[in-house]
Amino acid sequence: MGKLLLGCIADDFTGATDLANNLVRAGMRVVQAIGVPEGPLAADVDAVVVALKSRTNPVHEAVAQSLAALRWLQGQGAHQIYFKYCSTFDSTPAGNIGPVTEALMDALGTEFTIATPAFPDNKRTVFKGYLFVGDVLLSESGMQNHPLTSMTDPNLVRVMQAQCRRKVGLIDHAVVARGAAAVTERIAQLKAEGVSIAIVDAVSNDDLLRMGPALAALPLVTAGSGVAIALPANFGFAPSPAASVLPFGSGLRAVVSGSCSLATNRQVQDFIARGGAALAIDPLQIAKAEADGADVVAEALAWATPLLARGPVLVYSTADSGAVKSVQSRLGAQEAGAMVERTIAAIARGLVERGVRQLVVAGGETSGACVQALGITQMQIGPQIDPGVPWCHAQALGAGLHITLKSGNFGGDDFFTRAFEVLA
């Protein structure tokens, strides 16, 4: 393996592919590792994204996993470290974004970094420190109803400060609009004022590209995936389609979804409206089956098997926020989520065992569970389906598998149909 330029740590699996996708589009050759590798990667790449499942873990676990990833990346000679979190800044008042950021800063011995989840291609923008999703504030976007990481405050300076012992400040849009020199000057000013972490405004890709050169000297960058479009140029890269070439796609097709986001709800309904074969998995049904000794996974696979030859099938536990809260009140939020993840992951494994070679997985936590159930340890990043969502290629259960890990909030309404058209 050649010199590793950019070493990335992502707090969930869909976010990792989201980040890797933007780096590939900007010309870098990228491999995504599932968890911290046990040894050096054999691939000759420019960037590695270590995908963790740490977004909703207890803080001490998220910090420990992130530091383990950092040590491995340092061992590969990474020139710069990138900590990637969700473009909706998913977190709780305790973390994990702030504590992980500060742990990485301590380990790297750096006194300053930036934080911006801005991803304009997916309508995530930051203005005056406030995070918008489309035309509404984060707190009005549906994220206020997230079952695990409800986001009720759109002011990122406040959100980040509540999680950090270091002082948090702002580099606002007026500064970013003046370009990299102005951003560099503002960083120096903030450091003189005792600020160690700065939220950075960005309402367009041009803003991200303007700030990019000012980030070249930072040992650590923390952000959503948006900033990734600006960093490869600091290493001399330019966009090239050669970076995203994958093996030819073939085999049976399926979609599994555990996300309850508004976007995924629309995607499920669109797939069904187009006549797609779909099976809903109810968490209460899973709980009852487990208590009665029934096998929901076997029943789902028995339903799917004869249908796979006709076209993609969808197995989903997606529901609206009211239904999710009702289930959580009966089972508990953590247990309900874990139960769905286990079930969907087992179904995904069974589908691949039955010949599925093109698999769409929706939902960050669901993606993590599925990748682990399939025994995937690294993925080659391929072409983009929608902003932030690429096809990938991996070895799973002894066979080549095209897989895409879709963040719940990403993708157009027809994503489940169009994804397979991109691979055709």
Mean pLDDT of the region 400-424: 94
CA distance 312 to 309: 8
Lowest-pLDDT choice from 188-192, 339-343, 383-387? 339-343
Asked if pLDDT for residue 253 goes beyond 80, the answer is yes
11-31, pLDDT tens digit by residue? 988 889 989 999 999 999 999
Locate 320 and state its tokens. Answer: 């609206």
362-399, pLDDT tens digit by residue? 998 899 899 999 999 999 999 999 998 999 999 999 99
Provide the pLDDT confidence category of residue 323 given band limits of 50, 70 and 90. Answer: low
Q: What mean pLDDT value characterizes the chain?
A: 92
Asked if pLDDT for residue 318 goes beyond 70, the answer is no
359: β partners: 254, 403
Mean pLDDT of the region 285-296: 78
* DSSP 8-state assignment for residue 236: T
Lowest-pLDDT choice from 131-140, 237-246, 248-257, 307-316? 237-246
CA distance 396 to 11: 22
Contact 299, 286 (CB under 8 A): no
pLDDT at 327: 58
Provide the pLDDT confidence category of residue 1 given band limits of 50, 70 and 90. Answer: very low
Contact 284, 330 (CB under 8 A): yes
Provide the pLDDT confidence category of residue 334 given band limits of 50, 70 and 90. Answer: low
pLDDT at 76: 94
Lowest-pLDDT choice from 8-12, 128-132, 310-314, 339-343? 339-343
pLDDT at 319: 60
pLDDT at 350: 98
253: β partners: 358
pLDDT at 338: 80
Asked if pLDDT for residue 3 goes beyond 70, the answer is yes
- DSSP labels for 276-299? -EEEE--HHHHHHHHHHT--HHHH
Asked if pLDDT for residue 7 goes beyond 60, the answer is yes
Tokens 């029934």: give the residue.
Answer: 294
Provide the pLDDT confidence category of residue 324 given band limits of 50, 70 and 90. Answer: low
Rounded to two decimals, what is the model's pTM? 0.81
Asked if pLDDT for residue 2 goes beyond 80, the answer is no
Tokens 């690294």: give the residue.
Answer: 378
Asked if pLDDT for residue 67 goes beyond 50, the answer is yes
Asked if pLDDT for residue 90 goes beyond 70, the answer is yes
Residue of 368 and 185 predicted with greater confidence: 185
Of 319, 328, 316, the residue nearest 261 (C-alpha): 319
| DSSP helix/strand/coil, 82 | strand
Asked if pLDDT for residue 279 goes beyond 50, the answer is yes
